[in-house]
Amino acid sequence: MLTRRMGPFGNFAISFSVISVLSGCMTLYGFGLNTGGPSVMLWGWLVVGAMVMFIGAALAEVTSAYPTSGALYYQAEQLGGRKWGWYTGWLNLLGLLGAIAGIDYGAALFTGALFNLQWGLEPTPGRIMVIFLCVLVLHLTLNLFGVRLVSILNSISVWWHLGGVTAIAGALAIVPSHHRSTDFVFGEFVNNTGWSSPLYVAVLGLLLAQYTFCGYDASAHLSEETTDAQLSASRGIIHAIGWSWLAGFVLLTGLTFAIQDYTGTVGTATGVPPAQIFLDALGVAGAKALLLVVIVAQLCCGNAETAAASRMVFAFSRDGALPGSHLWRQVDRRTGTPRMAVLLSVVCAAVLALPSLYSPVAYAAITSINVVGITPAYAIPIYLRIKNRHRFRPGPWNLGTWGVTVGTIAVIWVVFVTVLFCLPQTRPAGGGLVSVETFNYAPVALFVVLALAWGWWRAKGSSYEVPAQHFDRSATDYEDEVV
């Protein structure tokens, strides 16, 4: 049994840390420069943020009614039946594992850029992979100490992120003698994808924002370790999205105004365009300092995501839905942590990132895996809440008569982005649709997981059942210690 040691701020902090504008915005900034450019990044951020608020509000309403570690899959099971819960859980798990891979690989890229500036070390795919594996081991170790440490680190992470965004935007606004024009920042369109359709390129460019706005279900996954979960988890989701929306816009605006050489930034030897922006605008010392700020934020983000994913693994295994469930549902008596679930989460994330050794666009595919896995998992309980609205019993945090309208908008948006990010993102220079180097393997990962879910359902689905006491425990047990 998990223990309640996390307060409302800690619950908000984990979703805010997982969204992490200093991870998502920074690591996909180079993707954005090539796929639509400044105008798509800035306006896309505003549009996607608004749509994610609809998803977040609808999900927060369902979370208030069913606050458990299983979160999305438990909600789907309660609203639609066992099979709905089963497939939602597998999609949610794919998205969470893809998020760990994306976040920690992004941290490895920025660490490689710092090493390049400090020691001239070339950030080759092999070296980045070694750094990535070291980051995974760090997050494995930190998460074995228990939720108390995770909560403390997440609380620190909130202030680090807000202070980091302020420091980066402030330095880039004050120090450089030259800034781009407002017309450039909000109106420049760039297409380096190989595709001829500006509309197709513009919607592909939404990946930067949509990937960043993933992971706010972490508040729901940690609800069994949060006091007053029916309110705290829902508020954590909404507040995390809102503050991230504001902070991300400030960060993207500050970065884009400070671009000195667009072509040089895209083709930077550091491997990450924001590092080149820091270097051109602030010099070597300033670039190193801001890179360190970003890396610490990304490490906090990856640690929080590892915690959220491991709780999903634990909850899903508790209900016998994963192969080897008897291993992954074990809880350490001393720390109250599902240690084997943490280990499985980290190992799977490592496997998902392996194609980056040979594919230059693999990172975009990793982030797409996160989006096409977790975003549909958000929509399923929302859809079922709409479909079965007459039997849905709202919790203390609810949308009232607006619930169906908000949920419908959320589901439509999710269908759109899920299809979008399964499509090819770049086109080979010699023509044709895809090549080994430009292949988006996100739909392959999605197919493999759905096939595994189908096969395991046929083998073990008849014995899968989510106990009703999950909800009873999460809703009423509040006497444990709070951080």
| Residue-level pLDDT at 402 | 96
Residue 452 belongs to a domain: yes
Neighbouring residues of 22: CB distance < 8 A, sequence distance ≥ 6: 161, 164, 165, 251, 293, 294, 297, 298, 301
Instruction: Quote the DSSP letter at residue 20.
Output: T
Angle (CA) 404-407-408 rounded to 5° is 85
CA–CA distance, 224 with 205 (Å, rounded to integer): 36
- Residue in this structure with the two tokens 């980051």, named with its chain if needed: 135
CA–CA distance, 437 with 360 (Å, rounded to integer): 6
CA–CA distance, 461 with 15 (Å, rounded to integer): 31
Parallel, antiparallel, or unpaired: how do β-strands 190-191 and 35-36 relate? antiparallel
CA–CA distance, 350 with 345 (Å, rounded to integer): 9
CA distances (Å), origin 323, targets 37, 233, 347, 460: 44, 29, 15, 9
Angle (CA) 327-332-337 rounded to 5° is 95
Buried/exposed code over 371-396 (b: 16+ C-beta within 10 A; e: otherwise): bbbbbbbbbbbbbbbbeeeeebeebe
| Residue-level pLDDT at 475 | 43
How many domains does one find in the chain? Answer: 1
Residue 60 belongs to a domain: yes
Specify which residues 373 forms β-bridges with. Answer: none
CA–CA distance, 74 with 426 (Å, rounded to integer): 37
What does the DSSP assignment read for 199-236? HHHHHHTTHHHHHHT--TTHHHHTGGGBTTHHHHHHHH
CATH of the domain at 321: 1.20.1740.10
| Residue-level pLDDT at 369 | 87
CA–CA distance, 427 with 197 (Å, rounded to integer): 12
Residue 2 belongs to a domain: no
Residue 197 belongs to a domain: yes
| Residue-level pLDDT at 482 | 37
The residue segments making up the domain with residue 141 are 12-472
Identity of the amino acid at 348: C
| Residue-level pLDDT at 459 | 86
Number of H helices, E strands in the chain: 21, 2
Tokens of 260: 């000195």
Angle (CA) 225-230-235 rounded to 5° is 95
- Decide: 367 and 343 in contact? Cβ < 8 Å: no
Instruction: Quote the DSSP letter at residue 401.
Output: G
- Measured over the CA atoms of residue 130, residue 212, residue 355 and residue 306, the dihedral's sign is positive
Tokens of 76: 């789907």
- Give the rounded distance of the alpha carbon of 426 from its chain centre: 22
pLDDT in tens, the chain (483 residues): 556 667 899 899 889 998 999 999 999 999 999 999 999 999 999 999 999 999 999 999 999 999 987 789 899 999 999 999 999 999 989 998 999 999 999 999 999 999 999 999 999 999 999 999 999 999 999 999 877 788 888 889 999 999 999 999 999 999 999 999 999 999 999 999 988 999 999 999 999 999 999 989 889 888 888 888 899 999 999 999 999 999 999 999 999 999 999 999 999 999 999 999 999 999 999 999 999 999 999 999 999 899 889 988 998 898 888 999 999 999 888 888 899 999 999 999 999 999 888 877 788 788 888 888 999 999 999 999 999 999 899 999 999 999 999 999 999 999 999 998 888 887 766 666 666 667 778 888 888 899 989 998 988 776 666 665 454 444 444 333 333
| Residue-level pLDDT at 435 | 67
Identity of the amino acid at 388: N
CA–CA distance, 22 with 304 (Å, rounded to integer): 14
Neighbouring residues of 316: CB distance < 8 A, sequence distance ≥ 6: 70, 73, 89, 93, 322, 325, 328
Residue 1 belongs to a domain: no
- Decide: 417 and 211 in contact? Cβ < 8 Å: no
